[in-house]
Structure 1
Amino acid sequence: MDFELTEEQKIIQDTAAKFAKRELEPVAAELDQTKNREILKANLRKLAELGFMGLNVDPAYGGTGAGVVSFSLAMTELGRACASTAVTTSVTNMVAEVIQVVGTEEQKQKYIPPLCSGEWAAGSFGLTETCAGSDPASMRTSAVLDGDEYVLNGGKIFITSAEYAGVFVVWAVTDKEVKKGKGITAFLVEPSFPGFIVGKDEKKMGQHASSTNELRFENCRVPKENVLGKVNDGFRIAVSELAGGRIGIGSMALGIGLAAMDCATAYAKERIQFDKPISNLQAIQWMIADNYTRLEASQLLLLRAASLKDQKKPYAKEASMAKVYATESANKACYDALQILGGYGYTADFPVERFTRDVRITSIYEGTSEIQRLIIARDLLK
């Protein structure tokens, strides 16, 4: 068993780390406070120029072709500096990947290159609805064929990057008569399509710079050739092809947790109480030791899932294991880091306060921790 990264993987990890330190970290607090989309989009374009918007996409479509392990390593480094930028990068990578896996050649040629090149700031998924979150099969957005177009009606919520996405993968019910989940189809929707509306930007606890919007479809007309995959096969795409997104979110969460513990460890060496640094106290030492151990284990789980995906082997269970463990470990790391900093950790003078807000959502989106445990248990018990 070889745990050594390839030279290409090391270069990508190092490039991501340097970019995050140089470009993302200095503006992360400002983005959190101001939601300055121009700063965000400028950094997204720079990431695209470096090849980070299509890490597991064939170079024939403008991707890097570096693989899923490289994707995981990059998301961790970006997550250390700015979660808002990291989540946008992760989702855009997954949109390009899904189109690559199930799209037609015409769809690949049309939609993947602008995502990878930075011509479009981002790509988005339109899956979640008010009555269909963890249970996407209960979605109510509908699509009816009318000549050469499908007419979509309904709405989506909590859609990442909707304000500046160039293309959306949207799921809608195309056959209401069949068994639940069997009559759902995926579509490629452009923001210029008639009847497509991007709604309000949610006011969130964290990840402020990443837009999270509702979508509305009011007789939205989508060309028939924009069906992604097969008609009525959209639910399978949602549950199978999107598992890779859990590697991205878990990797980003790992980066946030590592950044929080790095900050807390440095602080503990300098903070004097009882005439000595608090890092000399066993209570602090154990918090540091336990959190870094959990984060190290998280990375091994993430890289294992990424490696399986790279080898075209089944990886859904492993991705869920990695996601639930990494995100919950990162949440614990941020909470403990804040505790180590004490009152300072609760102020915006230190980034741990932001890390703690940013990390909380990672155990909710891309499938909650509870859903990940269901997936894992079903695989083990089948």
Structure 2
Amino acid sequence: MALDADTFDQLLRTVRRFVKERLVPMEGDVARNDRIPDEIRREMRDLGLFGLSIPVEFGGLGLNMEEEVRVAFELGLTSPAFRSVIGTNNGIGSQGLVMDGTEAQKAAYLPRLATGEIISSFALTEPEAGSDASSIRTTARRDGDGYVLNGTKRFITNAPYAGLFTVFARTETEGKPKGSVTAFLVEAGLPGLSLGKIDKKMGQAGSHTCDVIFENCRVPASAVLGDKEGQGFKTAMKVLDRGRLHISAFCVGVAERLIADSLAYAMQRRQFGQPIAEFQLIQAMLADSRAESYAARCMVLETARAKDREENVSTEAACCKMFASEMVGRVADRAVQIHGGAGYMEEYGIERAYRDVRLFRIYEGTTQIQQILIARNMIREAAAAA
């Protein structure tokens, strides 16, 4: 259910002002300190940003997909680390619960996620299972009135601060030697649950990931998401469809910020007696970036609207993720080139963005995985139509 137009426009203006006045000035400090200030987290809570996509009845804003991507366009105008603070509560960390949780599970966790009282994480990736999510090795053995979890999850966003993990593990299933994937809602602090050291990454300082380790970690039967064993893989795929659209929209916002910064620099930087923006080869890079970012924006909006019409958009979401994440990489590369030597220097922030955007082509499904998904869906649809 969409917000009324006036309320949503006010929300967009508020987010835009918050990004411009509070977040952009802090980008350098966050990169140097590898930390989001506590006051920014509090302000995000006050603005309701932790509950953008959580239903209204559980204290969130209940944005539909189109509204969510339009907010993501705005959040993309600043460092990805800021979006990461609220990203898992609105996206992969909460949407499995929103889509497939029981009413009791939703009531227990969604209100606290919506306010930012607790942070959620999506614990799917493992040392030997990332893109191939069906190969996860973490196990959940039934033991009396609960389950015992064993295994390691890797590169889990916001894990150092999470109060709730959506954990995917194999449960024993008759007729399936390897078992079936089941999703569990696991609270932080349980005996047998521990965290690895915070990862040192190429970019996105201020956004933290680490291993999540389960060693005979006991959870109650009520922790099974939706109270159904064997549904975890389906849940994960549904969650990732939505997550890929959100990330695609964020890529568009980042690209638009880089284009604006590149244009401003090109108009004031002078060489051979004139602004470099007057040189046709600079203009070509600006034009290519503008056209590609516009194409990605249109793709994302159209796919979001289709999702709101409850159409199956798995193929289209994969197309958006593949194109938008590759696009922002090209835009960042051109931004460095337009800035020349300044683009390689820390003070301008362009080299930081160049490193930050590289991750978009990897997480929530690499570009190569998107290609496989798109092609397989095309073949399946053609075979069904024959």
Whole-angstrom CA distance in 1 between matches of 2:142 and 2:40: 40
Task: Give matches, 1:289-308, under 5 Å.
Answer: 289-308=287-306
Number of the residue aligned with 1:375: 373
2:101 to 93, 103, 106: 103
Q: State how many pairs are aligned.
A: 375
Task: From the superposition, tell whether residues 335 and 372 of structure 1 become closer, same or farther in structure 2 (CA, over 3 Å).
Answer: same
Amino acid at match of 2:225: L
For the Cα contact (< 8 Å) 1:72–1:306, is it kept in 2? yes
Task: From the superposition, tell whether residues 347 and 178 of structure 1 become closer, same or farther in structure 2 (CA, over 3 Å).
Answer: farther
Whole-angstrom CA distance in 2 between matches of 1:181 and 1:82: 41
Whole-angstrom CA distance in 2 between matches of 1:16 and 1:313: 29
Number of the residue aligned with 2:15: 16
Number of the residue aligned with 1:205: 202
Amino acid at match of 2:234: R
Number of the residue aligned with 1:59: 56
The answer to which of 48-57 and 367-376 deviates more is 48-57
Whole-angstrom CA distance in 2 between matches of 1:319 and 1:181: 30
SS at match of 1:232: coil
1:285 to 283, 303, 307: 283
TM-score between both structures, scaled by the size of structure 2:
0.93
Q: 5+ residue gaps in structure 1? A: none
Number of the residue aligned with 1:195: 192
| 1:42 to partner: Cα distance | 3.5
Number of the residue aligned with 1:351: 349
Task: Give matches, 1:167-316, under 5 Å.
Answer: 167-175=164-172, 178-179=175-176, 183-229=180-226, 230-316=228-314
Task: From the superposition, tell whether residues 343 and 181 of structure 1 become closer, same or farther in structure 2 (CA, over 3 Å).
Answer: farther
TM-score between both structures, scaled by the size of structure 1:
0.94
Amino acid at match of 2:150: N
1:88 aligns with 2:85: yes
Whole-angstrom CA distance in 2 between matches of 1:257 and 1:320: 19
For the Cα contact (< 8 Å) 1:132–1:139, is it kept in 2? yes
For the Cα contact (< 8 Å) 1:138–1:181, is it kept in 2? no
Number of the residue aligned with 2:26: 27
Please provide the CA RMSD for this pair: 1.7
Runs of 4+ deviating beyond 6 Å: none
Whole-angstrom CA distance in 2 between matches of 1:265 and 1:161: 34
| 1:320 to partner: Cα distance | 1.0
SS at match of 1:193: coil
**CA deviation string 1:303-334 (max 9, x = no partner):** 12221222222111111111111111111111
| 1:153 to partner: Cα distance | 0.4
Amino acid at match of 1:54: G
SS at match of 1:129: coil
Calculate percent identity across the aligned residue pairs: 39
Whole-angstrom CA distance in 2 between matches of 1:91 and 1:292: 29
Number of the residue aligned with 1:115: 113
Whole-angstrom CA distance in 2 between matches of 1:275 and 1:358: 34
Q: 5+ residue gaps in structure 2? A: 381-386
The answer to which of 226-235 and 41-50 deviates more is 41-50
For the Cα contact (< 8 Å) 2:123–2:156, is it kept in 1? yes
Whole-angstrom CA distance in 2 between matches of 1:285 and 1:338: 14
**CA deviation string 1:14-47 (max 9, x = no partner):** 222111112211111111111124x1x5323322
For the Cα contact (< 8 Å) 2:97–2:225, is it kept in 1? yes
